[in-house]
Structure formats: C-alpha cells, structure tokens
C-alpha cells in the first residue's frame, strides 16, 4: 500500500490543497515557508510515527487569512494498492473504486473559542469513505505509522545507546527481536552468560577486593545490626528491550575509523531508519518514510548518491519516500514526475497528468536540467534565455533600472538553445491554474534588416592572398523587406503563442538579435565599445590600450557621419563582428555589463527606449509583487 493522495483544508497556510503522490520517491521543493513542512506534518497527524513523536493540534494549526481564524480543519489521506493481507487488516474501513480497494482516513479538528481568548482544540480520526465512518482501531492505525526524520537531526545522539533509543525502537520492529514462544531470546542468553562472568569476576577474582571494600568497610558500618546491607555487581535488566537500548550503531570509514563527522553519521542514521521500511516480506502495513531537508549535513556528492538510490530503488524495494529539500543538486537529479513545487500556500505536482509537458519533454529535461537550471524550482520568478549574452546582461540591466533580480527572488535559466518551450511548459498546468511563478521567455526575432544583406566586408582569398568582398548574410537569408507585414506578424505571433500561457509570457526584440537591438538603442556606444575591446582582446598581436580603443571608436563614428549612415546601417556594422564570430558574444556581454554598471546614462532614457522595451518588460513581468 502507499499514500496516494492528501487533501488539506484550513491547515496552517493551506486554505485548500489536493495533492497526489507517486509510489516511490516524491520530492517537495520550494522556498522557505512555502508549506513543505506543513504537508509532512499533516501526514504525521493522520498516520502517527514509528518513534511515537508527540504531535498535537493547537490553535495555530488552524488557517487564518489574517483577520479570521478557521474553526474547523480537515486532513484526508487516501491509500491505494493494498495487498490481500493489508485489505484484511483494514477490512472494516475499506472502500472500493473501479474494482480496487482503498483506505481513506479523515482527521477532523475543531476549535472552540473560550471567553478568555484561549482555544480548546478537539480532533479525531475516522476511517472510511463518508463522514459517518467509524473510528479506526489502535491496532489498525499502528500499521500506518510512518518513519520520520526531522530536519537538522542530531544523528549521533539518535544512534547513541540510552533508554528508549531510536535504534532500539527500529530493531524492536523486526520479527527476529520479538519473542513469540515465551522463551529466552539469543541476545538475552548471551547477556546471561556475560552477567555470570561479571559476577564471578567480582566475587572470586580481582574484582573481589572492590566488592569486599564496599560490603565490609562501608556498608557493614553504615547498616543496622538487624538489617545489614550488602551489594553485588552485575549487568542489570537483561530483558531484550533493555539489551537493545544498550546497543549503538557504529560507523566506520576507510579514512577514519572513529569520530565520524555529521554527514557520515547522518547517512548512518538514514540507513538505520531504512530498516523500518525493509522489514520482512510478510510485513503488513504502510512503508512510508518522511524526511525533512534530506541534504542536512551532506556534501553535494553524498546528496547525489543518496537521492540516486532513493530515486531508483524506493519503488522496487516496496517503500515510499516523501522528502523535502532546498537543494538544487537534488532537484536536478529527480525525475520531474516525482517533483512537487510548493508555492504561495499551494502545492503542484509535476507528474505528466498535471502539466503541459509532453512525454518527450520529460526525457529531454531529465537529461538537461542541472544544478544551475534547477534553481527555477525555488524562484519567485524565472527568466528563460537562449544564450550567455542575455544571461549576463539582464541582471546588470535590472540593477540599473532599480529592479535587482536577486532582491525579487528571480532566477535566470540559460537553456543555451531554442528549447525554451520545454522549460516554459514546466509552469503550465493542464487545469489552467497558476503556480504563482511568473516566467519571462526571451527569444530572438531573427529577422535581419535589409541593410544586413547589403553589408559587405573584405577577406583574403585562400591560396592567393588577394582581397575579395563577401556578404554578411547568405543570398538565401530573407530580410525584413522580403516579408509582407502579415508574414512578419504571423512569425511573431507564432513565436509568442508557442511559449505564452498564463504566467508564462514571451518577449521578442523588434528585429534581429539582442546585440543588434542594443546597437540601435541609447546603449549603442557601450555595445560598440564592448565589441571593439573584445576584438582587440581576441587578437593577441594587437596592443590593447585605452587610446587605441577610443581612437578606433572615434574613427568609425566619424566615418558613419561622413557617409551619412542610417540607424540600421550603423547597428549592422557594430553587430557584424559577432555575426562573423570574430568576437565572443559571451565576452562582449561581460564587457558590456561591466561598462553599463559604471555608466551615467539616465535610467528613464533606458526604460523608455523602444529597442530595449522587450527586455524591460520581461524584467518587470517577473518582478511584479
């Protein structure tokens, strides 16, 4: 059996959510206070935990909109795929759908306001399909208890021997540590033998002098004549439960056989907890592990090894995991079908039945989402771009106009291709609901002006060394003047419609590419200078100096004035070295960002420049609060 669905009403920050889980691994991701822990706690309230953690509803667990606090809450957990043995154990409370048994548990909490503003909270858990279902028995409910690993756990303390130790609870759940025939357990017999040896040591060997000192020198003098006190050494409380409490699980590593660090002890603790999930094959009941902040104390490679194991093995080994995480690394390694985004007091599964992603998209994203791209799962807003230039320039531009992306929790995802559609669909739901993460897709329009085809430059012919004129664009490349207005409108509309839906919006330049558009804007001089610097940087034979750069800029500007070049002609000349790949777009973007950050251009001039409008609009879309 596994937990298939949780419905929550009026619990903490959740007004109402309906969340489906997968059989194996489920990873809850999202920013702080997004509700990940509340989902874990909601499940614990219904099922209870293997370690019998003290959990109780109180007034603060009831949803409030800031003005009014709810007086009733509900948490409904539904379990599917019960085996015959499990169905028999819950027979009295089972329901049936499409010929399959399922178990539904409903926790209802009620809050009664008292005159002194103190609330009394009452709640009960019922099993069955309808509201009139009966209370579930304690024995049946014990088969639903989950394994729970709290955040920032002290693994060393949890594994240490003590009364009621976690390790003793884990071991006691195994059949081999349960006495069913009334006889002595092998461990008890072993301790009996050890106890006899201990007694013999203190009664007949070197330890006798200690026993005699206590009994003859002290207790005899302390005691009354009619009630003399004596003592003996031994191992006390040799029943199996006490023996298990004396055990500790020790970790050994190749490099350090003692004093393991927090991370290694954490892995040891998780492995011990997994014992509860991989009980004997005859075990009847839920095998579910709830783990908060699984990455706690683990370095990135250990995180990846652990999540890789859970991702691949949990379902095949017959247990279910629901895990919370803030780690980009972990989110990038888990199949999108197993991810759940928590955002704005709601939760959104990314399983294929609930998103607009195609089956091929899942396979593509599984290969290409890495740690840098996985930050989109934790962002307030996302800007998806096709290359390094946008990735480098946009944060600087946003800072300059007073909308710093990091302050608004906006992540830039550089997909380095035209695969914008696949990434944008992550945020598009089949039911049309909004996740609450605004997304700006920035892509090139890719329609060059006629001046680009008219632009020629000289190159040396191979072999002869003679100069010849070459066109910047091939003869087959269509330019803006070769399209009708309707055709251009159709191209632009198709690109926008391809990505745009709900919170996902698409932004295109007026004509060709990012760099070309900037070369037509009020930032033209900065782009021109950046490309000239990049050209001189790429050619190590040239001497790089401020005078040379400024001289080259002046020379070209004077020529444009003399030749009466129009705006498009100038922008084509500025952009041409990038189209010819004489300079790196990434290097140019780095230089451009550095110069822009130190410039004194009026902010309003940038914000109202028609050639920068699509970039400004994209930034404003994701920074709307």
At 21 the pLDDT is: 94
DSSP H helices in 449-523: 450-454, 485-499, 514-519
Helix (H, G, I), strand (E, B) or coil at 586: helix
**95 SS3 class:** strand
Give the C-alpha separation, 173 to 187, whole Å. 16
Q: Which two tokens stand for residue 543?
A: 């001497």
Q: What is d(CA 68, CA 80) in angstroms, rounded to the nearest whole number? A: 36
Q: Tell me the average pLDDT of the chain.
A: 85
Q: Is the pTM of this model over 0.85?
A: no
What is the per-residue pLDDT for 415?
Answer: 85
For residues 323 and 289, give the distance between their C-alpha atoms in angstroms, rounded to a whole number: 8
Tell me the C-alpha distance between 162 and 158, whole Å: 9
Q: Which contiguous run of DSSP H or E holds residue 14?
A: strand 14-20
**The predicted structure's pLDDT at residue 279:** 57
pLDDT by residue (tens digit) across 306-319?
A: 888 887 777 777 78
Tokens of 223: 């005691």
Task: Report DSSP letters for 265-294, one per residue.
Answer: HHHHHHHHHHHHHS--TT--S--EEEESST
**Is there a contact between 449 and 572 (Cβ–Cβ < 8 Å)?**
yes
Who's near 263: CB < 8 A, 6+ residues apart? 297, 298, 299, 302
Dist. CA 434–CA 447, nearest whole Å: 33
CATH superfamily of 2-160+248-349: P-loop containing nucleotide triphosphate hydrolases (3.40.50.300)
List the domain boundaries for the chain. Answer: 2-160+248-349, 176-245, 359-622
Give 291's Cβ-side CA count (13 Å radius). Answer: 25
Tokens 């100038």 found at: 570
CA 243 vs. chain centroid, Å, equals 41
Per-residue pLDDT reduced to its tens digit, 403-425: 999 999 999 988 877 677 788 88
pLDDT digits (tens, 9 = 90+) for 563-594: 999 999 999 999 999 998 988 999 999 999 99
SS3 100: strand
How far is CA 301 from each of CA 10, 263, 292, 573, rounded to the nearest angstrom?
A: 39, 11, 19, 48
- Using CA atoms, how far apart are residues 191 and 242, in angstroms rounded to an integer? 11
């Amino acid at each position: 059996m596994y937990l298939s669905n949780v419905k929550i009403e009026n619990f903490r920050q959740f007004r109402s959510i309906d969340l489906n889980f997968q059989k194996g691994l489920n990873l809850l991701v999202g920013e702080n206070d997004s509700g990940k822990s509340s989902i874990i706690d909601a499940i614990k309230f219904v099922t209870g935990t293997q370690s019998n953690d003290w959990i109780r509803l109180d007034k603060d667990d009831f949803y409030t909109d800031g003005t009014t606090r709810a007086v009733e809450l509900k948490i409904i957990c539904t379990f599917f795929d019960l085996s015959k043995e499990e169905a028999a154990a819950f027979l009295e409370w089972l329901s049936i759908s499409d010929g399959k048994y399922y178990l539904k548990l409903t926790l209802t909490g009620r809050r009664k306001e008292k005159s002194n503003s103190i609330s009394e909270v009452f709640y009960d858990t019922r099993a069955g399909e309808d509201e009139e279902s009966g209370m579930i028995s304690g024995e049946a409910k014990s088969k639903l208890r989950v394994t729970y690993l709290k955040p920032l756990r002290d693994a060393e303390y949890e594994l240490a021997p003590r009364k009621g130790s976690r390790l003793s609870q884990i071991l006691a759940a195994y059949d081999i540590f349960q006495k069913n025939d009334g006889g002595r357990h092998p461990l008890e017999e072993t301790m009996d033998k050890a106890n006899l040896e201990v007694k013999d040591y203190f009664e007949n060997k070197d330890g006798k002098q200690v026993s005699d000192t206590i009994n003859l020198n002290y207790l005899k003098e302390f005691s009354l004549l009619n009630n003399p006190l004596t003592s003996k050494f031994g191992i006390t409380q040799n029943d199996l439960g006490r023996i298990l409490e004396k055990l500790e699980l020790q970790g050994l590593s190749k490099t350090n056989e003692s004093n393991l660090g927090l991370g290694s002890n954490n892995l040891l603790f998780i492995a011990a907890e997994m014992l509860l999930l991989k009980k004997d094959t005859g075990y009847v009941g839920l095998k579910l592990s709830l783990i908060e902040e699984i990455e706690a104390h683990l370095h990135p490679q250990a995180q990846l090894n652990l999540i890789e194991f859970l991702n691949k093995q949990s379902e095949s080994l017959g247990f279910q995991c629901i895990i919370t995480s803030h780690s980009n690394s972990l989110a990038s390694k888990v199949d999108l079908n197993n991810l759940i985004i928590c955002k704005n007091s709601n939760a959104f599964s990314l399983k294929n039945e609930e998103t607009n992603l195609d089956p091929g998209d899942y396979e593509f994203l599984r290969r290409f989402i890495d740690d840098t791209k996985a930050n989109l799962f934790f962002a307030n807003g996302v800007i998806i771009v096709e290359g390094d230039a946008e990735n480098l320039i946009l944060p600087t531009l946003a800072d300059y106009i007073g909308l710093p992306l990091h302050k608004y929790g906006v992540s830039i995802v550089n997909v380095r291709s035209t695969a914008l559609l696949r990434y944008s669909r992550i945020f598009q739901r089949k039911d049309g609901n909004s996740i609450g993460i605004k997304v700006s897709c920035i892509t090139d329009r890719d329609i060059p002006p006629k001046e680009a085809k008219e632009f020629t430059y000289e190159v040396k012919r191979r072999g002869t060394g003679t100069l010849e004129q070459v066109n910047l664009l091939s003869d087959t490349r269509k330019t803006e003047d070769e399209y009708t207005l309707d055709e251009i409108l159709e191209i632009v509309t198709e690109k926008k419609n391809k990505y745009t839906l709900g919170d996902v919006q698409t932004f295109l330049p007026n004509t060709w590419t990012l760099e070309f558009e900037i070369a037509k804007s009020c930032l033209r001089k900065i782009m021109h200078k950046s490309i000239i610097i990049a050209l001189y940087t790429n050619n190590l034979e040239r001497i790089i100096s401020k005078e040379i750069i400024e001289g080259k800029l002046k020379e070209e500007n004077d020529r444009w004035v003399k030749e009466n070049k129009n705006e498009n002609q100038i922008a084509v000349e500025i952009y041409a070295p990038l189209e010819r790949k004489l300079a790196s777009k990434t290097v140019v973007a780095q230089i451009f960002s550095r110069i822009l950050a130190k410039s004194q251009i009026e902010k309003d001039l940038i914000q109202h420049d028609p050639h920068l409008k699509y970039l400004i609009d994209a930034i404003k879309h994701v920074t709307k609060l």
